[in-house]
A = this chain, B = another copy of it.
Amino acid sequence: MNNTKRGRLVVVSGPSGVGKGTVLKYVLDRDDFVYSVSATTRSPREGEVDGVNYFFITREKFENMISGGEFIEYAEYNGNYYGTPKFFVEKMLSEGKNVILEIEVKGAMQVKRIVPEATFVFIAPESIEILEARLRGRGTEQNDVIAGRLSIAEREIRSCLMYDYIVINRDGGAEDCAEDIVAAVKAEGMKPCNVYTSICDFFK
């Protein structure tokens, strides 16, 4: 019998420029958190390793997996499929790891339908002005590209109320923000509905 406490699926969204990467790097420094590895039909780029960066699979295999209901969510971008295979998430959860799935709002709502017991976390900026300054600070994009991103960001941010937890990534606060996410996942595990296996003897 496997006595390992099952991990939790943690779905994380947040607008472009909010600093998700830095925050999640701190979360993933912890032994009990792993990143969800996606499957894709695009070719590996130099240095990318199968099973680490992505599971690289053929279009035929991907479509078979879609038919078989083997994805938690999937989407097609630029002619390639990207998706979250159930088998990987399930394996990690059963080993007691919390699995971080970083995904945009629409994908998150797709996951909500299939894995309602997942924990949904939204990383928000302190303000739209600060988000705009960050996007401009990268200095690599044209004004109209930034305006487009901001407009998407504003729409995404308004979806934050659909998430279980909203963490605010303040300037220089990525580490605090990571701790907030860890606390939220811990707290989820302490809700009566999730403690049941530890306390069921009390109700015999």
Which residues of A are at the interface with B, using a C-beta cutoff of 8 A?
A: 124, 126-128, 154, 157-158, 160-161, 163-168, 180, 182-184, 186-188, 190-192, 195, 198-199, 201-203
Contact = CB atoms under 8 A, between A and B. Distances in A.
Contacts of A203: 158
A199 B166 contact: yes
Contacts of A124: 198-199, 202
A203 B128 CA distance: 11
A58 to B, nearest CB: 41
Contacts of A183: 182-184, 186-187, 190
Contacts of A165: 187, 190-192
Contact of A184 (B161, B167, B182, B190): B190
Contact of A163 (B184, B188, B192, B198): B192
A154 B187 contact: no
B154 A202 contact: yes
Residue from the set A157, A184, A187 with the largest chain B CB neighbour count within 10 Å: A187
